[in-house]
Amino acid sequence: MNLFRLSWKYLTFRPLSTGLNVILLALGLAIITVLLLVQDQFENKMTKDAEGIDLVVGAKGSPLQLILSGVYHIDFPTGNIPLEEAKKLSRSRLIKNIIPLALGDNYKGYRIVGTNHDYLGLFEAQFDQGKVWEQPYEVVVGATVALREGLKVGDTFESSHGISVGSHDHEHDYQVAGILAPSGNVIDRLVLTSIETVWYTHEEEAESEDEKDHSELHQEVSKTGFPEGDQAKEVTSLLIQYRSPMAAVQLPRMINSGTSMQAASPTFEMARLFELLGVGVSLLQGLAFLLIGISGLGIFIALYNSLKERKYDLAILRVIGASRGQLVFLIFLEGIMLTSIGALVGILLGHSFLAVIISQNEQGVAASLDAWIFLKGELWILVYALGVGILASLIPAWSAYQTSIAKQLTKS
Amino acid sequence: MLISTENIQYSHPGQAPLSFPDIHLKANEALLVLGKSGSGKTTLLNILGGLLMPHRGSVCIDGVDLNSIQGSNLDLFRGKNIGIVFQKPHLLAPLTVEENLQMAHYFSKKKGQEINRLLDELGIGVKSKSRVQNLSEGEAQRVSIARALVNSPKLILADEPTSSLDDENTFKVLNLLQTQAKKIGAALIIVTHDQRVKDHIPQFIEVKGA
């Protein structure tokens, strides 16, 4: 026997009270763990996905929506912009690089993005298998899409119209030309192809079968810049890199006031979004701290009450040779053991909770999170929990220290 | 002398001081402390066990003056050298019988007697793995005696060990305490108001109270 086992015996002797306190504390800490994980990974991911993109240009509408749809592929696009205007903009000397995107279709909920090869360069994408698209209807699929849908190079599939599942199907089959290695970026969840492919898919809808000009389907697609297209052609958004810091001042104003398009900065819009979310996060944090506070109080009350019943036990321990210090240590040990268990259960619960959210949300943003990454911040959760344990044991330990054996034993 | 006391006085707050007769006892001897309820018998027992400090006088056990040791040293000294049997068993409820005795070994940092053999001798060997709650009152009493004996103390103090027992069990418990004390060569002091005990232990002192 030793003090650890004795503490443990006392804890397990009151399974209900111990269990309740562990659960309360664990819930509070689980919320904090989830917040910590989501905040860390979201911000990381958000910055990583937007890296190299200074400005997004698209149809007029909500700037936040433009960023979410153009950079993170979460929200619906604001609409399309004429190819002509996009091309005009690309001639500006303020712009170093411009990548057009054409959205509009999906494959089982994964977005099909028409773009050029620069988009792959932006994310420094590596190929796991195959090669980049060169012909219309050739696609490159992201790692997550390939894994979840079991796609291999050479496979064909049909797309659906719209950017979420359940819309009507297009008829022409896409062919997988390459599969990307996992990167942890947004492109893991995308199906990439040429802008021409997106155009042809939608033209087919309009044209009847016999009118279709099949020759263009075997031409090579454009690999950089804008594809050739007539006046009616459109793209969805443009990702822009500035040539100089000067562009940050001039370009957005120029686009917003001088064209029918709008420009939005990912950094600015995301800062605004986090500010909006901040209210919800603080609310959750408040709830978590409330739970932890209550559990701290619960542990204090449990220790204090059990101490009243146990004063006799403590006196007996003194009779058989235990010192005051050992009794104080025993009480602290009980509080600390309780909160440590609570902390471990809480951290585990937080990770499992996140894992459930992720598995419920296969195509969404949450899908790109990882539930089993452990952060340094979680060590602070442990430290915090131990603090609660020590604080809750303070008064009971002091009262154990003060107990006079003789008085306690003569009381009947 | 294993234990000797000199002019012990103790006063509870707001009460007249109590004086106690001197005690001189050798190893293997037994002594009764008789007195009416409220005469201060238990106070004397607490002083002898080092649980209470006398306001005057001294207690010397095996050549060590209890006044001269303090704090955790006194606790350790008590754990090693003094075994106390209380009126009620007061066992630690979350532990088994065996674990209750192991705690005494742990805190006194002493190997003491072999637990299972001791329990066998007291007739409760089969109960060694039992929860304390599942014991009868008589069994619990014997476990508390075993706990007082398990470190082979030099002095055994017993506070009213027979007050709630019938004649037959009183005899058994006294017999047990005496034989066990003899076996480990300890001095035995029993505090009681139970006149039946006098028939078994001739040597006694009387506490008169204030």
DSSP SS3 for A412: coil
Output the pTM of the full model. 0.77
| B66 within 8 A of B60, measured Cβ to Cβ | yes
**Per-residue pLDDT tens digits for A279-327:** 888 888 888 888 888 888 888 888 888 888 888 899 999 999 999 999 9
> How many beta carbons lie within 10 A of that of residue A9, not counting itself?
16
| Partners of A81 in beta bridges | A235
Match 């009387």 to its residue by tokens: B206
| Partners of B6 in beta bridges | B58
pLDDT at A35 over 70: yes
Beta-carbon separation of B72 and A325 below 8 A: yes
- Provide ipTM, 2 decimals: 0.92
Beta-carbon separation of A410 and B71 below 8 A: no
φ, ψ for residue B33, nearest 5 deg: -115, 110
Beta-carbon separation of B103 and A13 below 8 A: no
Check CB contact of A1 with chain B, cutoff 8 Å: yes
Q: In what order do the strands lie in the sheet with B30-34?
A: B82-85, B155-159, B187-192, B30-34, B204-206
> How many beta carbons lie within 10 A of that of residue A162, not counting itself?
14
Match 């979201």 to its residue by tokens: A42
pLDDT at A401 over 70: yes
pLDDT at A214 over 60: no
pLDDT at A166 over 70: no
Q: How far is the C-alpha of A237 from the C-alpha of A250, rounded, in Å?
A: 19
DSSP per position, B26-46 = -TT-EEEEE--TTSSHHHHHH
User: How far apart, in Å, are the Cα atoms of A183 and each of A43, A125, A148, B76, B135?
Assistant: 16, 7, 15, 64, 66
Q: How far is the C-alpha of A109 from the C-alpha of A104, rounded, in Å?
A: 11
pLDDT at A162 over 80: no
In terms of CA atoms, which chain A residue is nearest residue B70? Answer: A323
pLDDT value of position B91? 93
φ, ψ for residue A229, nearest 5 deg: -165, 155
**Per-residue pLDDT tens digits for B70-103:** 889 999 999 999 999 988 888 999 999 999 999 9
Alpha carbon of B161: minimum distance to chain A alpha carbons (Å):
14
pLDDT at A211 over 60: no
In terms of CA atoms, which chain A residue is nearest residue B103? Answer: A1
Q: Which residues of B touch A406 (CB under 8 A)?
A: 43, 46, 51-52
Alpha carbon of B78: minimum distance to chain A alpha carbons (Å):
6
Q: How far is the C-alpha of A118 from the C-alpha of B22, rounded, in Å?
A: 103
DSSP A141: E
| A186 within 8 A of A367, measured Cβ to Cβ | no
Q: Which residues of A touch B78 (CB under 8 A)?
A: 318-321
Which pLDDT tens digits describe chain B residue by residue (210 residues)?
899 999 999 988 888 889 999 999 999 999 999 988 878 888 999 999 999 999 999 999 999 999 899 889 999 999 999 999 988 888 999 999 999 999 999 999 888 889 999 999 988 999 999 999 999 988 999 999 999 999 999 999 999 888 878 888 888 889 999 999 999 999 999 999 888 888 888 899 988 876
Beta-carbon separation of A317 and B49 below 8 A: no
**Per-residue pLDDT tens digits for A104-124:** 888 888 899 999 999 999 999
Q: Which residues of A touch B87 (CB under 8 A)?
A: 412
pLDDT at A361 over 80: no
| Partners of A176 in beta bridges | A139
Q: Find the CB nearest B78 among A6, A13, A319.
A: A319
Residues in chain B: 210
Please give the radius of gyration of chain B, using alpha carbons only, rounded to the nearest integer.
Answer: 17
User: How many Cα atoms sit within 13 Å of A235 on the Cβ side?
Assistant: 30
Please give the radius of gyration of chain A, using alpha carbons only, rounded to the nearest integer.
Answer: 31
In terms of CA atoms, which chain A residue is nearest residue B47? Answer: A406
DSSP per position, A221-269 = PP-SSPPP--TT-EESEEEEEESSHHHHHHHHHHHHHHSSEEEE-HHHH
pLDDT band of A210, cuts 50, 70, 90: very low
